[in-house]
Structure 1
Amino acid sequence: MTDQAGHARAVGALTEGARHYVLILFPRLLKDIRRIGVPEVVRTSGLAEKEVTSLYFHFAAIARLLPDDPDRITPDLWEHFTYCVQVMSGMVSAASLDDMVEAREQAVRKYLPQARESLEQEFEEQRHEGTVDFRLAGLLRQADSPAHSRELCMEAIRREREDRFESLKALNTSRLNRNQAYVVESARAYVVREMAAAPEDFATIDLVIRLLDLLRAVLIMENRPDSPVSEDVSVERIVLGIGNVLYRKELGLALAG
């Protein structure tokens, strides 16, 4: 896990968006390691306590010197920074795997009633208009099962895509910092490009659109004193989620679950 040659990527392969994302992700991963705790990281990563402690202090020292501008970082440092986020991501993912699997299932269960209600409402509107989507009708008639629950949720998400896509035009990034704004604008450009191409698999696009729409809503709520925003849906977390979708593969980051 600590073999840098085996994990680091060539700097020239990093897009500008990925570099901005690394500068956002680095301090967040360090914070997650502190939250999880060295003993838990040692238990789940298979590394010795001395090695984990040494790596942690090395990463912390780097974090204190990170500039806001990716252009101020030399190519040789990008190689090492990429290696660092790979290692930290592996530590955090290993320690968080069980929690993430459970959180995913909870999210499906929580969203299922809303998804079913949304689809049933759309089906009734179609029926009154004299048009019926037989695939939608079939989905609503199927008996509940874990697989069907996920399919129902994904169908509702798919049908929200067009509505949410239009809302992205109103997303204002002026209140984000430089790195966050670059990641978000890159995501918006990605969505526009992919929607125009009409790919067969919309899973990634749906996820990015939902995250961007959530970010738009949170930025609006943050301007309203009477609408407190939970830390679980903070701007930082949403932008990190967007960057994870766009750049995880490019950076060679671990994926839990």
Structure 2
Amino acid sequence: MILVTGVNGQLGFDVVKELTKRNIECLGIDREELDITDKDAVGKYISNLKPECVIHCAAYTAVDRAEDEEEICSKVNVYGTENIANACKNIDAKMIYISTDYVFDGQGDTPFEVNGNIKPHSIYGKTKYEGELKVKEILDKYFVVRISWVFGVNGNNFIKTMIRLGKEKESLNVVCDQIGSPTYTADLAPLLCDMALSEKYGTYHATNEGYCSWAEFASEIMKRAGLNCRVNQIPTSEYPAKAARPFNSRLSKKSLVDNGFNLLPSWEDALDRYLIELK
């Protein structure tokens, strides 16, 4: 039995879908079923269920709002994660913790290795990294999987926003100096399921292959969705946001390759399949 938190989110939804497809017994839960910030409730729930693995997709991900809601963000991303990790330890279960490119300093132009320069510049990044530390302090049987630029069929994301705006506007301004890799949850889910069934514990980076800027990503979305909206490339300095965004979100996949896991398809290939799924 595998327990998946955050089932109403983009990733949790696709992880449960993939486990079900593989005929692996699973249960997807969200905040209505379990408040992960309630230590006693989490301990009781997981000890009763006795899953072999918990894939922890639930998180506070509102990056800008987190700058004003540090306490709430911490409660979910740090202490909620700690509660899950402690509950897993008590029943000797594995845990997969989903983390983010925001844990790095976001500088330079080379891909970050798993032990690269950890220096988050936002509350969101800071709390996700503190969540990583809790998992590593408490458990031996853990996977920390850092991802970036997530999109899936269940929930809001950059692609859905671009398509909506592309139908309404003749042109859009999109930043061109933040570089990274999109991550399609339908491609990530099989990898997480493979990890859950393995004992290749450790820290990993998992995104679709290839890099682009947000502006390049937006241009491809318009082109492949058949929209005539022009994308104007602008620097981050012209698009003020409350939380600092990483300029460099490139993540090295060396740990995946070294441990014999499959790399995800290219982001362009993922985008094509996603647009078909949206229809």
TM-score (norm 1): 0.24
**TM-score using structure 2 length:** 0.23
Higher strand share: 2
